[in-house]
């Protein structure tokens, strides 16, 4: 089930999770897939754009995970497989810093869980991270989106 929500607000993230519980009776998997990519040099950048990226890419992920975790753990206790899943969808920018990616790199580093297998698991819940690879269209995309998104 997909739920559209403004996850930058903690209460809205909690409401989105509650909608799923009310419709399905339980929650077995959470997929954190919201993200905002604003590129450009840090010098001269608009801090309000940073706030938007941090709110969506990091805080939104944390708010939805916090709201979902009790339901995920409960489903794991009751389920035959005894596990629930959290899947964080991120970007290659969360694994490798690139020139011109500034704050976006920092927010994407926050999407990926710790590399320690022990840190990725809590009793009953498993967290995985999926990220895109570098894409060959990046240079063309940067040229067509204007100087704010320019990748040097």
Q: Residues 63, 85, 92, 104: which is the catalytic one?
A: 104
Predicted TM-score (pTM) of the model is 0.76
- The yes-or-no answer on residue 63 being catalytic is no
**What crossing angle do the helices spanning 10-24 and 60-78 adopt, rounded to 10°?**
30
One digit per residue, pLDDT tens: the chain, 152 residues?
A: 788 899 999 999 999 999 999 999 999 999 988 888 888 888 888 999 999 999 999 999 999 999 999 999 898 888 777 778 888 887 777 777 778 888 888 888 777 764 445 445 556 667 777 766 554 444 444 443 433 333 32
Q: Are strands 84-90 and 29-32 parallel, antiparallel or unpaired?
A: parallel
The H-assigned helical ranges of the chain are: 10-24, 47-54, 60-78, 102-109, 117-120, 138-144
Could you tell me the domains of the chain? 10-149 (3.40.50.720)
């Amino acid at each position: 089930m997909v739920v559209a929500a403004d996850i930058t607000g903690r209460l809205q993230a909690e409401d989105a999770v509650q909608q799923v519980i009310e419709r399905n009776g339980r929650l077995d998997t959470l997929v954190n897939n919201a993200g905002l990519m604003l590129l450009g040099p840090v010098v001269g950048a608009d801090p309000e754009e940073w706030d938007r990226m941090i709110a969506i890419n990091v805080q939104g992920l944390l708010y939805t995970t916090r709201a979902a975790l009790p339901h995920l753990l409960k489903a794991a206790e009751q389920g035959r497989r005894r596990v629930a899943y959290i899947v964080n969808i991120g970007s290659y920018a969360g694994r490798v810093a690139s020139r011109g990616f500034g704050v976006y790199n920092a927010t994407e580093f926050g999407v990926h869980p710790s590399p320690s297998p022990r840190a990725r698991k809590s009793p009953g819940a498993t967290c995985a991270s999926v990220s895109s690879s570098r894409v060959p269209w990046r240079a063309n995309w940067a040229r067509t989106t204007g100087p704010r998104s320019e990748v040097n």
